[in-house]
Structure 1
Amino acid sequence: MTATDQPDPAPRPLDHLTAMGATDAMALVDRAGALDYTGLERAVGALARALQGRGLAKGARVASWLAKTRLASLLPLACARAGLVHVPINPLLKRAQTAHILADSGAELLIAGAGRAQTLEASDRPAGCALLIEDEAGAASLAAQDGLPPSAADPADLAAILYTSGSTGRPKGVMLSNANLWLGAVSVAHYLRLTAEDRTLCVLPFSFDYGQNQLLSTWAAGASAYPLDYLTARDVIRAVDKHGITTLAGVPPLWIQLAEAEWPEETAARLRRLTNSGGRLPVSLVRRLRTLFPAADLYSMYGLTEAFRSTFLDPALVDAHPESIGRAIPFAEVMVVRLDGGLAGVGEAGELVHAGPLVAQGYWQDYERTAQRFRPAPAFSEYGGMAVWSGDTVTRDEGGLLRFVGRDDEMIKTSGNRVSPTEVEEAAIATGAVAEAVAIGVPDDRLGEAILLVIRGDQAGEGALRDALKRELPNFMQPREIVWRAELPRNANGKVDRAGLKAELTS
C-alpha cells in the first residue's frame, strides 16, 4: 500500500483480514512462537470452530479478560468468524468493573486466566455465563483440524462491544460492526503507509480501539505484529532492538517514559513510525521525540471510540504545527459545528462532529445516552446519516488543520484512559470512610490529567480510604491527591458545584 494509493472503501467481514498478507510472511510473533499468514488463518478458523462448538447462538457475547496472549490476539477475528460478539475487558480492571461489564453485556462466555478468574465471585458472572480458563483450554481451542472457513457475514453485523467510561455512571459499551473495524484497519494502514516489511510492537491494551487496531491495521497491510506486556520503558526498548520493530503506538504517559529513557542510537534508528492518541502531546515532548527518533515519522492523532478515529497530522507538518490534531482520516468526515448548527468559520470554535462509515452503532442497550451522542449529521455533511457529536471543542485554521481546544464534558483523560468521575466517587463512598466525594481532572505534564479527589469527611480516615481504593480501582483510577473539606460548594439546585470546585483547585 503506497502513499498515493486510495484505500478500497468496500467493507468486508472482519475475519477476512487473515488473507491480507503473503502466506510466508510473519503475521504474529508472541511468546507462543510465530504464525505466518497461513498459520494465522488456520488458528483463527480453529478458534472459531471451538467457540461455535460451545453451542453459542449467533450474536452471543464472548468476553475476554486477558493479557496479550495468543488467544487475546486471535479472538477479535475468531469471534467475528463464528458470528459472535467480542467483549474485550481491560486486564488492568478489577473485580467490580469486570462484573459490571459482564452483567451489562449479558456475556454468555468469559475467557480469562486462572489468576484473574479467581478474583471473581460466582455472582459476578451473569446467569448462564460459562467460564473458560485460558491456561487450561487455550491450546486445545487452537488445535481443531477442521476450522471454520472465512465467514460470509454482513459487514453491518455487530462484531465487538468496547467499553469506555461515560461522563456519568458506569462504563458504556460502544457497538462496533465488522465494517467499522475493517474500514478502521484499512484506513490506518493506508495513512500510516504500512507495508508488508513493517513490524508493529503492540504495547497498548487490546480492549482499547486504538490498542486493538495495532493488530488489525498491521494485518490489513500484511505486516507483522509483536504483542508485548511491558513493565518498564526498558522492556519496550529491548523489544524494539530484539525484533527490529519499525512501528510503535503509544499514549502520552508512555511517550514521556520513553523520551526519558536511555536509547542506544542504533535501536532508536530502527523505528520508522511513531503514533500517538489518547491525549495531546505537549510541544516540548514532540520536540524531544523528533530529536530522539530522527528517522521516524511522528503521527499525532485524535479519536474517540464512538467514531474510532477522527484525524491525523501528516508527519511533514509536525515541526511547523506541533499543536495540531490534523485533518480527517480516510473514510471519516469531521466538521466544526457552531452552537446554532452552522459550519464554523476559520478560527471559530465549535464542536467536532464526526460522520461516515467509521461511526459506531451506538451504546449497547443504552438508548438515552445513544440519543445524546449519536444524532443526525448537520445538513451540510457530505456523508449525512448518523453522526457522533463529540462534545469536544476545536478550531480550524486557514489550511484546514484542526486544533483541540477543550473537552465539554467532565470526563477525566489520564494515562490515555477515559475515566468517569462518578466511578471513582462511588468507589470512595462505598468504603464508608467518606460522606461525599467529587473527582476532577487537573492538568498533569506526565498523565495529561491527574485525578484529584475532593472529600467531605474526616481526614483521619485517609489511610483506610487509600487502601480501599487501591484494592477496588486499577492504578490509572487512583487519585494523585485527596483534598478534605468540611463542606462542598453547591449551586442553586443544591448540587455540588463541580465547575466552581475545579476552577478553584486549578487556578
Structure 2
Amino acid sequence: MRDTAGGTALLTDAPSDHAQAPAGPPADHAQAPVDAPADGVRTPVDPLVTGVAGLCGRGAPDSPALTYKDTTVDYAELRRRVAGTAAGLRRLGVRRGDRVVVYMEKRVETVVALFAVAAAGGVFVPVNPVYKAPQIRHIVDDCAASAVITTDERYATVRAAVAGSPSVTEVVLVGETAGAPAAHDTAGAPEDPWRVTSWHALPGDDGGVPPVQVIDTDLAAILYTSGSTGSPKGVVLSHRNLIAGAESVAGYLGHGPDDVILAALPLSFDAGFSQITTALHAGAHVVLANYLLPVELVRLCARHRVTGLTGVPPLWIQLTGCRWPAEATAHLRYFANTGGRMPRSTLARLRELFPAARPYLMYGLTEAFRATYLDPAEADRRPDSIGKAIPNADVGVVRPDGTACEPHEHGEIVQRGALVAQGYWNDPVRSAERFRPAPGADGTVRAEIAVWSGDRAYRDEDGFLYFVGRDDEMIKTSGYRVSPTEIEEAAYATGLVSGAVAFGLPDERLGQIAVLVVAGDTTESDLRKAMEDQVPRYMLPKRVVFLDQLPVSPNGKFDRVETRRTVTA
C-alpha cells in the first residue's frame, strides 16, 4: 500500500517532541514480528494485547460485547473477528502508521474495522456517516489515507470523494451484496486506481506478513473535529491516550460487566467512541444505535435494559419531550452529558424522568478526550459546575503567564496528563497554538506538553470548576465580557424555548451587541420580559431571532458557526 506522505513529519516545527510524528517506518514497513528475549526463545506477538484493540478481550468470552439490531456478538467472537480482519488488512498491505478511513453507520462491522486497523498497526480515521463527498475528500487528502472501509450503499459517495486521490489504493466494502467474495475482490470500474475487496473475503491468515508489535505511544487514531474557525483539524491519538481515557472514564462512571451501554453518539466524535472503549474496558455490553427520532432510543432502553446513556444537550432536550415508560427507565443507573452545558431546566426534567439514575455532567476537549466531571452527589448544590479533574488528569485554570488563578478569577483551562493528544495531523501552526509546555505551580515551564484549551473558567473555594465560555466566543459589550452560555442559560430558565444560541456582532457604539437565536413557541416580548428577571440589563440580547429548528453539527451539538451564518446571511 503506497504512502504518499513519504515519511514526512506529522507536525513539522511543532513546539516539542510531544507534538511531532515519528520519523516514519522504513520503506518496507518491516516490524519485529516477535519478542526476542535474551535467551533467544521467541514469543509470538499478540497485537490484540499490546494496543487499544486489547479492550476487545477484557470481557468474559461468552458475555455479550456488541449488539446491532438483532445481532449480538460475544467477546470471544469480537476478538476473533478483530484478529481475522487485522490479518486480512495486513495481507492487503496495511502497515504500521497507514491511515485507514472508516465511513459507515454504527454496526458491528464498524467497531471491528476500527479495532482491526489498530491491531494491524494502522491508524483508524472514523468519518461521520452524515458527511458527504466534499467532507470525506478533505479528510482523505489531509491524512493521505491509503484505504477506505465503507458499505455497498455508500460506495458511490466514496468513489466521488476519492476520485483522483494519490494515496488510496484499497477500498473494502461491507454489505449484504458483498457476501460473495467474487462480488468485489479485484476492481471496480476500470478507471478506478484502487482495488475493491469484499469485507467477507477479508478475514483469514496474514499472507505471511508478520504481525505488528504495537506499543502504547504508537499512533492509533485521528479524529477530525471542526472548530469555530478554519477547516476540520485531525486530532492525533495514541494507543496510550485511548487506553488511559477508557480506564479513567469507566472508573468514575462505575462501569462493570453487568452494564448495558447505549451508544447513541457518532463514533467519529470522541465522546461517541468513548462509549465503546469505556464499556469494553469493563467487559460490559454495548448496544449500537442509529436513530432518526429520539423515541427510538427510548425503545432501545426498554428492549435492552440499558444502564448507561450519554448524550449532548440537543439530544437531551429532545428526550425530555418523549414519554418514558417504566420499563425504559427501570435499569438506568446513570445518564451523562457532554458537548456543552446542559440547561438547568433540562437537568431537572431528566431527574424527574430518571429518579434512580445518577447524573454525570462532563466537560472535555477532543484534544484531551475528557477533562472534568461533576460528582452526582454535587448536582443539586452545584448544577452549573463542570466539576473537578477526572482520574489521571491534571486540570488547572491559569493566567496568560501560566500562574494559577485565585478562586473566582477567570482564566484559561489547561490540561496535562496521559489523555492529552499528540497534536493536530499535519498542522504545525495550530498545534503550536494549542499544545504548549505545561505551566508549573509558580508559572515556570515544565518539559511536559499540555493542551491550552482556549476555554475560560473559574474555580470556587472548594476547587469546583465553572465554564465561562471560549475566548473567541466571548461577547464584549458596553465594557463587559459576557459569556454566550450565560445568555443561553437565562433563555432556557424562562421555560419558553427549546433551543438557544447566543453570539456577538460588531456595533460602533457598544463594541458588540448580543444576538440570541432561539427555537420555541413564544414571542420576543414575552421572552425578553421573562429574561429581565434572570440577568442584568447589559446581558439582555439586543436582537432575538426565531428559527423553527436550530442547526446542529454532525456530532449532534448546536452548530454555532452555522447558526451565525444563517442569521447574518
In structure 2, the residue corresponding to 1:306 is in which secondary structure?
A: coil
User: How many residue pairs were aligned?
Assistant: 431
Superposed, 1:19-34 pairs within 5 Å as: 19-31=57-69, 33-34=71-72
Superposed, 1:437-456 pairs within 5 Å as: 443=488, 446-447=498-499, 449=501
2:141 aligned to 103, 107, 115, which one?
Answer: 103
Question: 1:172, 1:36 → 2: CA distance?
Answer: 35
1:346 aligned to 387, 400, 407, which one?
Answer: 407
| Aligned amino acid, residue 501 of structure 2 | E
Shift of 1:482: 3.6
Question: 2:164, 2:300 → 1: CA distance?
Answer: 37
In structure 2, the residue corresponding to 1:159 is in which secondary structure?
A: strand
Hey, what does 2:200 align to over in structure 1? 140
Hey, what does 2:166 align to over in structure 1? 127
Task: Summarize the Cα distance change of 1:404–1:359 in structure 2 as closer, same or farther, 3 Å threshold.
Answer: same
Deviates more, 1:80-89 or 1:131-140: 131-140
2:461 aligned to 388, 398, 420, which one?
Answer: 398
Hey, what does 1:197 align to over in structure 2? 258
Structure 1 residues without counterparts, runs of 5 or longer: 1-10, 412-441, 455-469, 486-507
Overall identity of the aligned pairs, in %: 45
Question: 1:217, 1:383 → 2: CA distance?
Answer: 30
Hey, what does 2:331 align to over in structure 1? 270
Shift of 1:76: 2.6
Shift of 1:118: 1.2
Deviates more, 1:249-258 or 1:263-272: 263-272
Contact 1:46 1:141 in 2 (8 A): no
CA deviation map 1:175-207 (0-9, x unaligned)? 000000001011111000011000001010000
Task: Summarize the Cα distance change of 1:122–1:335 in structure 2 as closer, same or farther, 3 Å threshold.
Answer: closer
In structure 1, the residue corresponding to 2:452 is in which secondary structure?
A: strand
| Aligned amino acid, residue 399 of structure 1 | D
Question: 1:397, 1:301 → 2: CA distance?
Answer: 17
Question: 1:237, 1:175 → 2: CA distance?
Answer: 34
Task: Summarize the Cα distance change of 1:326–1:155 in structure 2 as closer, same or farther, 3 Å threshold.
Answer: same
Deviates more, 1:31-40 or 1:369-378: 31-40
TM normalised by structure 1 equals 0.79
Hey, what does 1:250 align to over in structure 2? 311
Which of the pair has more CA radius of gyration?
2
2:89 aligned to 51, 63, 66, which one?
Answer: 51
Contact 2:94 2:120 in 1 (8 A): no
Question: 1:125, 1:321 → 2: CA distance?
Answer: 54
Shift of 1:300: 0.4
Task: Summarize the Cα distance change of 1:359–1:294 in structure 2 as closer, same or farther, 3 Å threshold.
Answer: same
In structure 1, the residue corresponding to 2:137 is in which secondary structure?
A: helix
Hey, what does 2:129 align to over in structure 1? 91
1:66 aligned to 104, 119, 128, which one?
Answer: 104
Shift of 1:20: 1.1
Shift of 1:267: 1.8
In structure 1, the residue corresponding to 2:454 is in which secondary structure?
A: strand
Question: 1:138, 1:346 → 2: CA distance?
Answer: 59
| Aligned amino acid, residue 238 of structure 2 | S
Question: 1:149, 1:272 → 2: CA distance?
Answer: 44
| Aligned amino acid, residue 173 of structure 2 | I
| Aligned amino acid, residue 47 of structure 1 | T
Shift of 1:126: 1.9
Hey, what does 2:381 align to over in structure 1? 320
Task: Summarize the Cα distance change of 1:155–1:342 in structure 2 as closer, same or farther, 3 Å threshold.
Answer: same
- CA RMSD, 1 decimal: 3.0
In structure 2, the residue corresponding to 1:237 is in which secondary structure?
A: helix
| Aligned amino acid, residue 456 of structure 2 | T
Shift of 1:133: 2.2
Superposed, 1:139-218 pairs within 5 Å as: 139-140=199-200, 143-144=203-204, 152-218=213-279
Hey, what does 2:416 align to over in structure 1? 355
Task: Summarize the Cα distance change of 1:396–1:450 in structure 2 as closer, same or farther, 3 Å threshold.
Answer: closer
Question: 1:448, 1:331 → 2: CA distance?
Answer: 34
Question: 2:432, 2:114 → 1: CA distance?
Answer: 27
| Aligned amino acid, residue 126 of structure 1 | S
Question: 1:451, 1:282 → 2: CA distance?
Answer: 17
TM normalised by structure 2 equals 0.71
| Aligned amino acid, residue 54 of structure 1 | L
Query: Does 2:174 align with 1:114?
Result: no
Task: Summarize the Cα distance change of 1:355–1:12 in structure 2 as closer, same or farther, 3 Å threshold.
Answer: farther
Question: 1:241, 1:145 → 2: CA distance?
Answer: 41
Task: Summarize the Cα distance change of 1:403–1:182 in structure 2 as closer, same or farther, 3 Å threshold.
Answer: same
Question: 1:383, 1:41 → 2: CA distance?
Answer: 40
Task: Summarize the Cα distance change of 1:384–1:322 in structure 2 as closer, same or farther, 3 Å threshold.
Answer: farther
1:374 aligned to 422, 435, 444, which one?
Answer: 435
2:283 aligned to 198, 205, 222, which one?
Answer: 222
Question: 1:336, 1:451 → 2: CA distance?
Answer: 24
Question: 1:150, 1:403 → 2: CA distance?
Answer: 47
Shift of 1:150: 8.9
In structure 2, the residue corresponding to 1:196 is in which secondary structure?
A: coil
Task: Summarize the Cα distance change of 1:297–1:111 in structure 2 as closer, same or farther, 3 Å threshold.
Answer: same
Shift of 1:341: 2.1
1:39 aligned to 77, 81, 84, which one?
Answer: 77
CA deviation map 1:274-328 (0-9, x unaligned)? 0110000011111111111011111000000001100001111111111010000
CA deviation map 1:214-249 (0-9, x unaligned)? 011000001000101011111001100011111111
Question: 2:411, 2:423 → 1: CA distance?
Answer: 23
In structure 2, the residue corresponding to 1:53 is in which secondary structure?
A: helix
Task: Summarize the Cα distance change of 1:128–1:336 in structure 2 as closer, same or farther, 3 Å threshold.
Answer: closer
Hey, what does 2:7 align to over in structure 1? none
In structure 1, the residue corresponding to 2:118 is in which secondary structure?
A: helix
1:279 aligned to 331, 337, 340, which one?
Answer: 340
Query: Does 2:449 align with 1:386?
Result: yes
Task: Summarize the Cα distance change of 1:165–1:484 in structure 2 as closer, same or farther, 3 Å threshold.
Answer: closer
| Aligned amino acid, residue 270 of structure 2 | D
In structure 1, the residue corresponding to 2:157 is in which secondary structure?
A: coil
Task: Summarize the Cα distance change of 1:302–1:12 in structure 2 as closer, same or farther, 3 Å threshold.
Answer: farther
| Aligned amino acid, residue 220 of structure 1 | H
Question: 2:252, 2:447 → 1: CA distance?
Answer: 23
